[in-house]
A and B are shown apart, each in its own frame.
Chain A
Amino acid sequence: MPAVSKGDGMRGLAVFISDIRNCKSKEAEIKRINKELANIRSKFKGDKALDGYSKKKYVCKLLFIFLLGHDIDFGHMEAVNLLSSNKYTEKQIGYLFISVLVNSNSDLIRLINNAIKNDLSSRNPTFMNLALHCIANVGSREMAEAFAADIPRILVAGDTMDSVKQSAALCLLRLNRTSPDLVPMGEWTSRVVHLLNDQHLGVVTAATSLITTLAQKNPEEFKTSVSLAVARLSRIVTSASTDLQDYTYYFVPAPWLSVKLLRLLQCYPPPEDAAIRGRLSECLETILNKAQEPPKSKKVQHSNAKNAVLFEAISLIIHHDSEPTLLVRACNQLGQFLQHRETNLRYLALESMCTLASSEFSHEAVKTHIETVINALKTERDVSVRQRAVDLLYAMCDRSNVQQIVAEMLNYLETADYSIREEIVLKVAILAEKYAVDYTWYVDTILNLIRIAGDYVSEEVWYRVIQIVINRDDVQGYAAKTVFEALQAPACHENLVKVGGYILGEFGNLIAGDPRSSPLVQFNLLHSKFHLCSVPSRALLLSTYIKFINLFPEVKGTIQEVLRSDSQLRNADVELQQRAVEYLRLSCIASTDILATVLEEMPPFPERESSILAKLKRKKGPGMVPDIEEGRKDKNVNGGMEPISTNATTKSTPSPSTDLLSLGSSPALSSAPPSSSAGGLLVDVFTENHAPAAPGVPMGPVADDNFSRFVCKNNGVLFENQLVQIGLKSEFRQNLGRMYIFFGNKTSTQFLNFSSSVICQDSLKTQLSIHIKPADPTVDGGAQLQQILNIECVSDFVEAPVLSIQFRYGGTLQNIAVKLPITLNKFFQPTEMTSQDFFQRWKQLSSPQQEVQKIFKAKHSMDTEVTKAKIIGFGVALLDRVDPNPSNFVGAGVIHTKTTQVGCLLRLEPNTQAQVGGPERVLACALACARCRAVPSPNASLSPSLFTDVPSHTTDKQGHCIAAAL
């Protein structure tokens, strides 16, 4: 708004504003505004035409009233009229009103667009600028649609004024951000790059912003910008501070442009051309040199501008990660900042160092600052800086300094902020494990950790200790001894009791020789904690007791006494009661041989990614955790302990799509067979396989890890990640089915452009017809969207269709593809038949293509009820008392398709005897075979193979297993 001066001012407006400011109360203000509105209405209504000045004045008043929070529902037309005025001030007010008040107002948008178009083609730079600013300020889709084609033309036209070019570049940037799909890439792109050579620094600055954004999307097209950017940067850096008169800010030449150019260069790898590369390193060196020079001014603006350029340069150095000398220099520079007075500088220095630490060249250099960082941890007053210090310590840790760093972190943990304690605990646990030189130290550290911050030690941490102790023979004795000693403290944390219980149960015999830790002493020690523990820990302790019976026959009596007591046998908690009863019976009935077999020491755990690390990643978001083992191919890492997934992110990229990718487990992990061990309490149930989402590619990896779960059931959660949860509800009747898909938005922001489709591969198209009802294109944060799928089975099929969804979340396009659990067995109709009937038909179906038999190993213990439920869920009718052998399961059903109906018979013959008393497992693995006969051939291969996929949800509790074994 122009200043109210004599020549140009609007007296009426000034008076009105001062009236409002002088109002004593809100009521008075509203009265004044009502009066003014009535006045303006009568003026606008008046028959005689208003001159431009009064129109401008009244529109200004309306704008002011609107900004005070009142609704304005007239005057738009007058504002639009102002657009066509030839006076700058009138046009300006018109544009101001439009950009503040007009929101896709359908009647006027055409007029407005017309006016803007006129101005854009007017050749008058100020008018063009006004129009461009208006487009950028409104920035709506409609605007983008109307002008996306024109603006690039203005931007690259030879005869456009500099100031207009500047506005055009920024306007295009804005449109590109709001609706990137509408801004076409074309021949202008190459010419935009050449704007970097422009005389006018303002144009260059604006263009750099635009190019950076565009280059992030299409790096290839803007590759040429690298050399130009380097040239421009070197000119700026080497120029004396007086050269760039208007663009020198407190003695720093063009700081904003420098920062933007450095950002642009971060979109690309180091330039291949040696000359350019040399020039760039020269620039970076100059920037580093300048940082060493004494400041030219004491003003804070000077140092801020200088440091901004410096930090951006360091980011570029880290990004390139190729010049050892530069990296070391950068590290030293940051080291100076670590002790700077400015809190912000310290924070930034720590943050940059975190990334530096992961580079193999500068890792050693970073390590030299360990004392300073530890000092920062102890003395720093700002909690966010302390947090960064912890991150840096984590990042710089390796085998040589692990003992020191872990000790310091443990020290800090006692006084740390509650909010970050859990994270520190995880970090300590990971570091201790990864770089442990000897495992006695590791055990000590973790026990210490539990002692200091027991409440923050998550399950994963103590699971991990046990895994490691069990897998390493050499520490078992030591672990048992230390745990025993730790348990003697009058007050121990529950987690310690859990670890202690588990380890003593396994390896208590290793320390039983010492009279101070004789079996009875061990037992009494554990039992003294029993009543203070929660139910899960008590359950664990009960298992320890039964293990004690095996390890030390001499305490059998005492333990049986404990188990027999009412507080166990009649415990209100079912789990505890069952364990007590079963263990008591087991100890009474079974001979020592059986006991020894059943209560065998735990087998070593299969190696997999540390669940703690996974948890830390989940907690922080993957970009945040500097990946130690990858960035720097460190040979020091305890080899073999953790095969780390290969696609975890190495670079911290801000886009959520990469977050998604690394959050989901690696393909290696998801394609690995599901956990095969049945007996361990510590089966890694907590590392759930996250479905890998497929960003960017429409038909990327298809998530199907929940697929098998749906073979026998119709409802449940099909897919889940950070952003979205997909749930299913389906019903099938004969050859028709209906599926309700629920898309739940787990975030708080809206999904835009939401679309979903079902893709049927080649032959499936003819076999299955699926109709999907179109869904809403937006899903609000926290809301759920329902979509209905109508399915018709035309003929039998093998493959499953794929559901592919696309949506825009926070500006990035997300693609998710999930296998839809539509399998042939969904179209089963159960059929009842008698025993005679069944076997008669069974025998009829004897030709090889009508029959298939498969023998497979059950993945879980066989529970009759569960199996029955699964067979019914599979779709066939469960026929009771049909098979002469009562333990066999028999089913019959008819598959309905549009073309034919196929009868199917099924027999499942579990063999529970096989492999009883196997060497290690507490559980005897059940062998089973299934038999399926079908009339026409193609189906025959199907059902059993499906059946093998049936996952069992039985939990692998030792108690159940033993019961099954007996």
Chain B
Amino acid sequence: MIGGLFIYNHKGEVLISRVYRDDIGRNAVDAFRVNVIHARQQVRSPVTNIARTSFFHVKRSNIWLAAVTKQNVNAAMVFEFLYKMCDVMTAYFGKISEENIKNNFVLIYELLDEILDFGYPQNSETGALKTFITQQGIKSQHQTKEEQSQITSQVTGQIGWRREGIKYRRNELFLDVLESVNLLMSPQGQVLSAHVSGRVVMKSYLSGMPECKFGMNDKIVIDKQGKGGATDDSGKSELGGSGKQSIAIDDCTFHQCVRLSKFDSERSISFIPPDGEYELMRYRTTKDIILPFRVIPLVREVGRTKLEVKVVIKSNFKPSLLAQKIEVRIPTPLNTSGVQVICMKGKAKYKASENAIVWKIKRMAGMKESQISAEIELLPTNDKKKWARPPISMNFEVPFAPSGLKVRYLKVFEPKLNYSDHDVIKWVRYIGRSGIYETRC
């Protein structure tokens, strides 16, 4: 179990130090600083063992969060907790920065007392926390006894993530499918590895205790239906319009509100949603990924002092859709002494501090292509090492899901209050972003 939690600024000064167990001494704080933050070689591993003590750290901008333990804990659990902790802090005071942490340190200690008990993680649901850990102290005076007991029963009850008696004039539901597509491609255009990791994020403003059911084009479900009744032909053809009928999900995790037993038996996703924003599920696919862009690099070395680079990018989706925030990063050798760039579209610039040419395009429609060419002058060095040619990487945002995931339905039932599924206003949005999207050159 977690023995303690420390937050450091970029210099390694301790901002927050909360120790939960006696086996963690005062010197643990310094040990992490000396061995990780101030380490001569950059520490890449998120888990560091120093003197039989394990440190799990995550970094948010310039802030280090480190969980410490002397026991053999579940590392995945600790990281999940650290990420949750970050989410909670962001939900309370926005961006995690040194200044924000210093301004809210009383609140952070209060939160740490609540979400970790003797090192065991407790309820870290932001919605629930916000009911009893408030930023305005005055508000608690106005709370009636009834409300207080309600909080207790909610937090300790079966549905800890939603309180009773929520009322909205307009029942509304927002559903975002956020995906990041990762790729490594050989110079010849062969896919070496590719996967999509996606999230379904929801924002729900629903009255009462509604029961929701979420459906998507999961291959297992579709196949089962196909076998179960041949009557669903119309549905199939409808889906067929988008090119592909179903997707194979490699693995997925759900928010705690989803009834796992139902998913296991029927593979249907049903749940009572929390109020506000939350992440319903996370998933990963590796098959039949739509790669939104193709990068074709061409690097030619002219003698020892010159390098010619030409890069073509092709967009590979419906012409009606528009990709945004496109950025191509072409690494340059370490002995570059000058760069000339010509591009037809967007802006390109040599960034010496990053050793790369950065080419930015605001918008680009599907089925188009664009190219950049650059001449790189090199300084002859006496170093015999050859340039390693790091891959060309790319960033973008597209308005569809590269995995092919489609939301088939989201049904809402509220038996007690008198609104039906049709009265709920539902919004669905797909956003595909680049993860690590690289092409070797």
Interfacial chain A residues near B335, Cβ < 8 Å: 41, 73-74
B62 engages A45 (CB within 8 Å):
no
Chain B contacts with A in 209-255, Cβ cutoff 8 A: none
A24 engages B381 (CB within 8 Å):
no
- Residue from B40, B42, B352, B379 within 8 A of A74 (CB atoms): B379
Q: Give the shortest distance, in Å, between B221 (CB) and chain A (any CB).
A: 45
B379 engages A105 (CB within 8 Å):
no
Binds B, one of A27-35, A202-210, A255-263: A27-35
Can you name 12 extra interface pairs (CB under 8 A) apart from A45-B379, A105-B382?
A25-B10, A32-B353, A34-B354, A35-B353, A38-B352, A38-B353, A39-B352, A41-B335, A42-B338, A44-B379, A73-B383, A76-B382
Interfacial chain A residues near B150, Cβ < 8 Å: none
Q: Give the shortest distance, in Å, between B311 (CB) and chain A (any CB).
A: 20
Contact A38-B336, Cβ < 8 Å, known A25-B10, A25-B62: yes
Interfacial chain A residues near B353, Cβ < 8 Å: 31-32, 34-35, 38
Question: Which residues of chain A have a CB within 8 Å of any CB of chain B?
Answer: 24-26, 31-32, 34-35, 37-39, 41-42, 44-45, 69, 73-74, 76, 105, 107-108
Interfacial chain A residues near B182, Cβ < 8 Å: none
Q: Give the shortest distance, in Å, between B85 (CB) and chain A (any CB).
A: 22
Q: Is B355 an interface residue (CB 8 A)?
A: yes
Q: Give the shortest distance, in Å, between A346 (CB) and chain B (any CB).
A: 33
A73 engages B381 (CB within 8 Å):
yes
Q: Give the shortest distance, in Å, between A524 (CB) and chain B (any CB).
A: 50
Q: Is B179 an interface residue (CB 8 A)?
A: no
How distant is the Cα of A841 from the Cα of B228 in the complex, in angstroms? Answer: 102
Interfacial chain B residues near A108, Cβ < 8 Å: 382
A26 engages B383 (CB within 8 Å):
no
Binary A-proximity of B188-223 (CB < 8 A = 1, otherwise 0): 000000000000000000000000000000000000
Binary A-proximity of B339-381 (CB < 8 A = 1, otherwise 0): 0000000000000111100000000000000000000010111
Q: Is B337 an interface residue (CB 8 A)?
A: yes
B10 engages A24 (CB within 8 Å):
yes
Residue on A nearest B61 in the bound complex, by CB = A25
How distant is the Cα of A108 from the Cα of B352 in the complex, in angstroms? Answer: 28
How many residue pairs link A and B with beta carbons under 8 A? The number is 51
Residue on B nearest A74 in the bound complex, by CB = B381
Contact A73-B382, Cβ < 8 Å, known A26-B42, A32-B353, A38-B352: yes
How distant is the Cα of A778 from the Cα of B27 in the complex, in angstroms? Answer: 44
B338 engages A45 (CB within 8 Å):
yes
Residue on B nearest A106 in the bound complex, by CB = B382
Interfacial chain B residues near A37, Cβ < 8 Å: 334, 352
Q: Give the shortest distance, in Å, between B185 (CB) and chain A (any CB).
A: 26
Interfacial chain B residues near A34, Cβ < 8 Å: 352-355
Interfacial chain B residues near A41, Cβ < 8 Å: 335-337, 379
Q: Give the shortest distance, in Å, between A310 (CB) and chain B (any CB).
A: 42
Binary A-proximity of B40-51 (CB < 8 A = 1, otherwise 0): 101000000000
How distant is the Cα of A108 from the Cα of B337 in the complex, in angstroms? Answer: 22
Residue on A nearest B337 in the bound complex, by CB = A45
How distant is the Cα of A732 from the Cα of B155 in the complex, in angstroms? Answer: 86
Residue on B nearest A107 in the bound complex, by CB = B382
Q: Could you give 16 example pairs across A and B, Cβ below 8 Å? A: A26-B42, A34-B353, A34-B354, A37-B352, A38-B353, A41-B379, A45-B379, A69-B40, A73-B334, A73-B381, A73-B383, A73-B385, A74-B379, A74-B382, A105-B382, A107-B382
Question: Which residues of chain B have a CB within 8 Å of any CB of chain A?
Answer: 10, 40, 42, 62, 334-338, 352-355, 377, 379-383, 385
- Residue from B62, B336, B337 within 8 A of A44 (CB atoms): B337
Interfacial chain B residues near A74, Cβ < 8 Å: 335, 379-383
How distant is the Cα of A38 from the Cα of B379 in the complex, in angstroms? Answer: 10
How distant is the Cα of A543 from the Cα of B336 in the complex, in angstroms? Answer: 85
How distant is the Cα of A107 from the Cα of B382 in the complex, in angstroms? Answer: 8
How distant is the Cα of A37 from the Cα of B355 in the complex, in angstroms? Answer: 10
How distant is the Cα of A958 from the Cα of B62 in the complex, in angstroms? Answer: 77
Interfacial chain A residues near B355, Cβ < 8 Å: 34, 38
How distant is the Cα of A105 from the Cα of B352 in the complex, in angstroms? Answer: 28
Residue on B nearest A38 in the bound complex, by CB = B352
A42 engages B337 (CB within 8 Å):
yes
Residue on A nearest B305 in the bound complex, by CB = A45
Interfacial chain B residues near A45, Cβ < 8 Å: 337-338, 377, 379
Interfacial chain A residues near B377, Cβ < 8 Å: 45
Residue on A nearest B42 in the bound complex, by CB = A26
Q: Give the shortest distance, in Å, between A61 (CB) and chain B (any CB).
A: 14
Q: Give the shortest distance, in Å, between B248 (CB) and chain A (any CB).
A: 39
Interfacial chain B residues near A69, Cβ < 8 Å: 40
Residue on A nearest B98 in the bound complex, by CB = A24
How distant is the Cα of A34 from the Cα of B335 in the complex, in angstroms? Answer: 10
Contact A24-B352, Cβ < 8 Å, known A41-B335, A45-B338, A73-B335: no
Q: Give the shortest distance, in Å, between B247 (CB) and chain A (any CB).
A: 37
Interfacial chain B residues near A42, Cβ < 8 Å: 337-338
Interfacial chain A residues near B381, Cβ < 8 Å: 73-74
Interfacial chain B residues near A32, Cβ < 8 Å: 353
How distant is the Cα of A34 from the Cα of B385 in the complex, in angstroms? Answer: 18
How distant is the Cα of A328 from the Cα of B377 in the complex, in angstroms? Answer: 79
Q: Give the shortest distance, in Å, between A455 (CB) and chain B (any CB).
A: 28
Residue on A nearest B38 in the bound complex, by CB = A26
Q: Give the shortest distance, in Å, between B64 (CB) and chain A (any CB).
A: 11
How distant is the Cα of A73 from the Cα of B382 in the complex, in angstroms? Answer: 6
Residue on A nearest B350 in the bound complex, by CB = A38
Interfacial chain A residues near B334, Cβ < 8 Å: 37, 73
Residue on B nearest A25 in the bound complex, by CB = B10
Q: Give the shortest distance, in Å, between B100 (CB) and chain A (any CB).
A: 16
How distant is the Cα of A39 from the Cα of B385 in the complex, in angstroms? Answer: 21
Contact A35-B42, Cβ < 8 Å, known A25-B62, A42-B338: no
Which of B353, B380, B383: most chain A Cβ within 10 A? B353
Interfacial chain B residues near A76, Cβ < 8 Å: 382
A24 engages B382 (CB within 8 Å):
no
How distant is the Cα of A108 from the Cα of B40 in the complex, in angstroms? Answer: 31
Q: Give the shortest distance, in Å, between B193 (CB) and chain A (any CB).
A: 27
Interfacial chain A residues near B42, Cβ < 8 Å: 26
Q: Give the shortest distance, in Å, between A114 (CB) and chain B (any CB).
A: 18
Residue on B nearest A26 in the bound complex, by CB = B42
Contact A35-B382, Cβ < 8 Å, known A41-B335, A42-B338, A45-B377: no
Interfacial chain A residues near B62, Cβ < 8 Å: 24-25
How distant is the Cα of A45 from the Cα of B377 in the complex, in angstroms? Answer: 9
Residue on B nearest A24 in the bound complex, by CB = B10
Interfacial chain A residues near B337, Cβ < 8 Å: 38, 41-42, 44-45
How distant is the Cα of A438 from the Cα of B75 in the complex, in angstroms? Answer: 71
How distant is the Cα of A214 from the Cα of B177 in the complex, in angstroms? Answer: 81
Of all A-B residue pairs in the complex, the 10 with the closest CB atoms, nearest first, are A38-B352, A45-B337, A73-B383, A31-B353, A35-B353, A41-B337, A73-B381, A74-B381, A35-B352, A34-B353
How distant is the Cα of A25 from the Cα of B62 in the complex, in angstroms? Answer: 7
How distant is the Cα of A37 from the Cα of B379 in the complex, in angstroms? Answer: 11
How distant is the Cα of A38 from the Cα of B335 in the complex, in angstroms? Answer: 8
Residue on A nearest B352 in the bound complex, by CB = A38
Contact A31-B354, Cβ < 8 Å, known A26-B42, A74-B379: yes
Q: Give the shortest distance, in Å, between B402 (CB) and chain A (any CB).
A: 29
Residue on B nearest A33 in the bound complex, by CB = B353
Residue on A nearest B385 in the bound complex, by CB = A73
Interfacial chain B residues near A24, Cβ < 8 Å: 10, 62
Q: Give the shortest distance, in Å, between A404 (CB) and chain B (any CB).
A: 47
How distant is the Cα of A189 from the Cα of B383 in the complex, in angstroms? Answer: 43
Q: Give the shortest distance, in Å, between B252 (CB) and chain A (any CB).
A: 34
How distant is the Cα of A39 from the Cα of B379 in the complex, in angstroms? Answer: 12
Interfacial chain A residues near B10, Cβ < 8 Å: 24-25
Residue on A nearest B356 in the bound complex, by CB = A34
How distant is the Cα of A42 from the Cα of B353 in the complex, in angstroms? Answer: 13
How distant is the Cα of A31 from the Cα of B358 in the complex, in angstroms? Answer: 15
Q: Give the shortest distance, in Å, between B10 (CB) and chain A (any CB).
A: 5
Residue on B nearest A39 in the bound complex, by CB = B352
How distant is the Cα of A24 from the Cα of B62 in the complex, in angstroms? Answer: 9
How distant is the Cα of A39 from the Cα of B339 in the complex, in angstroms? Answer: 12
How distant is the Cα of A73 from the Cα of B335 in the complex, in angstroms? Answer: 8
How distant is the Cα of A38 from the Cα of B336 in the complex, in angstroms? Answer: 7
